[in-house]
């Protein structure tokens, strides 16, 4: 095999193998989140399958080109059809999340990695080199270079500009082209290649109508809610992040109505600066001219999607595309209120936004005496270890906070936590032998 052709094939393998891993991690976010307990096993299983592919490839002793062409063709089908948004959603629909995850990784991602992992050890048999180390080193160089470019270009360019569907389709088409290059196809093989390409196109072009960016899946749909007139739901990663109806004035999701009531009625905010971490559907400031709002969300595309498909009018307030924690750490401005609304679902809570350090960072962005409001998704009885620990973490940074469970009988409920940035004294326990409750009550304002 000519060296340029061989290195092209190896480059395609590296590009598509790591590209498939990046796409798989992105596809899992709406269903099981992006926490370390999801990403680490996924990466580990992918690498295990890749290692088994290296070993399997080393045992191939004949028909090198035909084996690689076959592997590329099957991988193209797994990538083009298996990593399409509709296919992944179908796997997780009605299936327990843990089982669906194993099916997705075990039936799609790992077989793809195993097949592509065979490429380098097989094709090094076709390299003309004086030393085996030279052959392996050059092949691994082009494979790793492809992996680097695949991870960078797919995540930072293709997904950002066109969407996840385009990244899936590009990888599938590259694998089909690689199969044709490595082994000149005959009539039947040409039909198979065309069929796989057609399946990949059909499976992914439908996803163009969905707003799926490198960060999240977005969807706007009509829903039914008691007391609301023709409401629309703004879904982020398959979870309802915001609601708005057609009444005048519009009604919003219950937790948004509650937050607005706290800010406007209970606290009487007028002409105040309010920072909102997590844009959702931008309904907190919708038709609310009394205060100045700044929204921070990591996805730069969310504002345009919300304005076009959900609000159908311009967002009221400033928008900053940034990580919430980085923003509050670096903020030079101070705000009268910080609203933390980054929790669209239990599976979508970024781990770095629940720590004591993060809550202290939100205090850094507050003016003296400012208020922090957090919308959390917890069990309705606050009985789980996660609920107790998260609330204790917030209070370790702010002192005693008000906690309001909006749906106490629900398995999972919106929980609004209200904290004020001020000096707090250490608490003491009242006991029968030394009960200072009456003294403390008299001192209280």
- Which token pair is 208? 């163009």
Query: Whole-prediction pTM value?
Result: 0.82
Query: What is the mean pLDDT of the segment spanning 386-409?
Result: 92
Domain assignments of the chain as residue spans, ordered by start = 3-212, 217-420
Statement: residue 130 has pLDDT above 60: no
Counted residue by residue, the chain has a size of 445
Query: What is the mean pLDDT of the segment spanning 269-273?
Result: 96
* pLDDT bucket at 351, cuts 50 / 70 / 90: confident
- What CATH number does domain 217-420 carry, 3.40.50.280, 3.40.50.300, 3.40.50.150, 2.60.120.260? 3.40.50.150
Q: What is the pLDDT of residues 195-219, one digit of tens each?
A: 998 999 888 887 776 778 888 888 8
Statement: residue 347 has pLDDT above 60: no
Statement: residue 317 has pLDDT above 90: yes
Q: Where are the beta strands (DSSP E) in 259-364?
A: 273-277, 292-297, 318-321, 335-340
The dihedral over CA atoms of 11, 12, 16, 18, expressed in degrees to the nearest 10, equals -10
Q: If you average pLDDT over every residue of the chain, what do you get?
A: 90
Query: What is the mean pLDDT of the segment spanning 23-44?
Result: 90
pLDDT of residue 55: 95
pLDDT of residue 183: 83
pLDDT of residue 424: 66
Range with the lowest mean pLDDT among 98-112, 270-284, 342-356?
A: 342-356
Query: What is the mean pLDDT of the segment spanning 412-416?
Result: 91
Name the residue among 400, 398, 357, 353 with its Cα closest to residue 375: 353
The dihedral over CA atoms of 137, 142, 147, 153, expressed in degrees to the nearest 10, equals 150
Determine the angle formed by the axes of helices 64-77 and 187-205, rounding to 10 degrees. 20
Range with the lowest mean pLDDT among 198-207, 267-276, 361-370, 423-432?
A: 423-432
Q: Where are the beta strands (DSSP E) in 164-216?
A: 211-212
pLDDT of residue 277: 95
Beta bridge partners of 293: 274
pLDDT of residue 36: 86
Statement: residue 422 has pLDDT above 90: no
Q: List the Cα angle 104/209/102 in 5-degree steps.
A: 5
pLDDT of residue 431: 80
Q: What is the pLDDT of residues 186-195, one digit of tens each?
A: 888 788 889 9
Q: What is the pLDDT of residues 294-313, one digit of tens each?
A: 999 999 999 999 999 999 99
pLDDT of residue 203: 86
Domain 3-212: top CATH class = mainly alpha
Query: What is the mean pLDDT of the segment spanning 418-434?
Result: 77
Q: What is the pLDDT of residues 34-76, one digit of tens each?
A: 888 899 999 999 999 999 999 999 999 999 999 999 999 999 9
Count of H-run helices and E-run strands, the chain = 17, 11
Do 267 and 307 form a contact (C-beta atoms < 8 A)? no
């Amino acid at each position: 095999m000519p060296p340029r052709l061989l290195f092209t094939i190896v480059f395609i393998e590296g590009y598509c193998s790591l590209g498939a891993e990046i796409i798989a991690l992105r596809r899992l976010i709406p269903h099981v989140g992006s926490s370390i307990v999801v990403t680490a096993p996924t990466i580990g299983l992918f690498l295990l399958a890749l290692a088994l592919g290296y070993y399997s490839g080393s045992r191939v002793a004949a028909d090198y080109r035909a084996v690689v062409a076959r592997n590329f063709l099957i991988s193209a089908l797994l990538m083009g059809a298996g990593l399409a948004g509709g296919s992944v959603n179908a796997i997780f629909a009605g299936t327990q999340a843990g089982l669906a995850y194993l099916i997705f990784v075990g039936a799609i991602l790992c077989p793809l990695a195993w097949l592509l992992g065979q490429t380098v050890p097989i094709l090094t048999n076709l390299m003309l080199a004086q030393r085996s180390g030279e052959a392996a080193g050059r092949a691994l160089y082009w494979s790793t270079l492809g992996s680097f470019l695949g991870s960078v270009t797919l995540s930072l360019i293709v997904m950002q500009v066109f969407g996840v569907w385009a990244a899936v389709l590009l990888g599938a088409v590259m694998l089909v082209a690689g199969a044709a290059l490595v082994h000149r196809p005959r009539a039947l093989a040409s039909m198979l290649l065309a069929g796989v390409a057609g399946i990949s196109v059909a499976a992914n072009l439908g996803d163009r109508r969905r707003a799926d960016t490198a960060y999240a899946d977005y969807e706007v749909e009509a829903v039914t809610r008691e007391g609301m007139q023709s409401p629309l739901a703004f879904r982020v990663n398959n979870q309802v992040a915001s609601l708005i109806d057609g009444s005048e004035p519009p009604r919003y999701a219950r937790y948004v109505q509650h937050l607005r009531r706290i800010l406007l009625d209970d606290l009487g905010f007028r002409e105040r600066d309010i920072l909102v971490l997590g844009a959702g559907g931008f309904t907190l400031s919708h038709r609310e001219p009394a205060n100045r709002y700044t929204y921070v969300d990591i996805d730069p595309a969310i504002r345009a999607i919300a304005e076009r498909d959900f609000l159908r009018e311009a967002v009221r307030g400033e928008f900053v595309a940034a990580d919430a924690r980085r923003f509050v750490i670096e903020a030079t401005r101070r705000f009268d209120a910080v609203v933390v609304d980054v929790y669209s679902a239990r599976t979508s809570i970024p781990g770095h936004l629940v720590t004591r350090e993060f809550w202290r960072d939100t205090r850094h962005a507050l003016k003296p005496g400012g208020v922090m409001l957090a919308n959390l998704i917890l069990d309705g009885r606050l009985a789980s270890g996660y609920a107790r620990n998260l609330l204790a973490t917030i209070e370790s940074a702010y002192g005693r906070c008000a906690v309001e469970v909006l749906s106490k009988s629900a398995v999972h409920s919106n929980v609004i936590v209200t904290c004020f940035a001020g000096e707090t004294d250490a608490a003491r326990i009242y006991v029968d032998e030394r009960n200072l409750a009456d003294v403390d009550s008299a001192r209280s304002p």
